[in-house]
Every structure is written in structure tokens, then in C-alpha cells.
Amino acid sequence: MKLTTLALLASFTLISACSILPKPEPFEIYRLPTAQSGASVTHAAPQRWSLRLNKPQASEALNSPNIAVIPQGDVMSSYKGSRWSDPAPVLLRNRLLDGFQRDGRVTLLSTDDSNFQADLELGGSLQAFQTEYQGTAASVVVRFDALLVRGYDQRLLASKRFEVRQALSDVKVPAAVSGFGQASDRLTAQVVAWAVEQGQKFAPPPRP
């Protein structure tokens, strides 16, 4: 009898303890808006070289699903109750892949999720993927230090910094997400044009 009573008391204690634990805060998951149709389409002849897209390096604050925001000064925060579907480096890499596919000049494409070897590799460092406030005005900032390297020996061939700022007329999360999509589209167009130009210079000649 005593053992049964003790067991019941222990069960009630556990139930009481579980009931006072804080419930996880619900949050909304956002994908990066799809690229605007026809944003970068060309009818130029396709290139013969292959390209592998690597996830850019990023700080701990950006290498997460949090939607980053700098409300003032150097304070890095994130939007409460909102998340990206993937960490920012993955979002950017996938947007670049989509940009190259839409452009159509480089048809032999892969990512670092696979083990395919390519003639050239595009990677780098994601320095900014956030909303920044200046007084009451806000804008999305995407800054990418791109590196183009040769596939077989990892020799650095070219590098360039790309930065896009997209002003926001509304500071609510859905408007900010839309701004991230627009900024990513503009940056992607610039990176694709640059990478194709550099690839034409440095890619190995096609085999006979």
C-alpha cells in the first residue's frame, strides 16, 4: 500500500511539473520569395564548362533560420515568431542556382550537396543578409563576397564584393521578406553576369 501511494504521489508530481513548463512559442516559417519571372533570361549560346555552387560561409548569426535585423547601432537581433525555411547561406545558394538556370548560359550546374566535380566553383562569404534601420527608415541589405575557384586544384581565379540595399516602405515581417526576395534577385543578376564573364576567361577549353 505504501509503495502504491508513493507511486501515485510521484506521478502527480511529474504531471504538475510538466504542466508548468513553458510552451514553445509558435512561429511562422517563410521561404525566400520566388524570383520574378523573366528577371534574367538570355538567349546567348550555352557555355561548355561546368559550375558548382557552394554554400557561402557566414557568421553564426546569419548561418541560422533566424530572420536577422539590426534595429540600431551594432545590435544584431531577429524577428520574433518568424523563421526562414533554411539558413541564409542555403537560401542564397539556391537563389543563385535558380538564377543561373534562368540565365541559361551555364547548363552544367551542381551544388555542394553532391560530390560532382566541376570545372569551376562559386562560393565566398555572406557578410550581410538582414534588415537594417536608420532612424525610422529600414532597408534589406545583402552583401556577398564572391570567390570563383578552379575545381581540380582550388586555385582562386577571381573575387568581387556584391552589395544590394532594398528600401522597405513597411517594416512588418511579410514586407521585409518581400524585400529580401527583391534584393536577392538583384544581387543574383549581378553575380550571374560576373561569374559567366569570368568563366569565359578562366574555364578550361572544351575537350575535342
Look at residue 113 in the predicted model and tell me its pLDDT: 96
pLDDT value, residue 181: 97
Per DSSP, what are the bridge partners of residue 150?
A: 120
CB 82 within 8 A of CB 144: no
pTM: 0.85
pLDDT at residue 36, as a whole number? 75
A 10 A CB-CB count for 165 gives 14
pLDDT the model gives residue 169? 92
pLDDT of residue 20: 57
pLDDT of residue 11: 46
pLDDT for position 204:
79
Give the H/E segment covering residue 142.
Answer: strand 137-150
Q: What is the pLDDT of residue 81?
A: 94
Spell out the alpha helix ranges (H) of 30-120: 88-103
pLDDT at 110: 98
Instruction: Cell numbers for 65, please give them.
Output: 533560420
181: cell is 526576395
Write down the architecture of domain 55-202 according to CATH: 3-Layer(aba) Sandwich (3.40)
List of the chain residues with pLDDT < 70: 1-25, 37-43, 206-208
User: Domain spans of the chain?
Assistant: 55-202
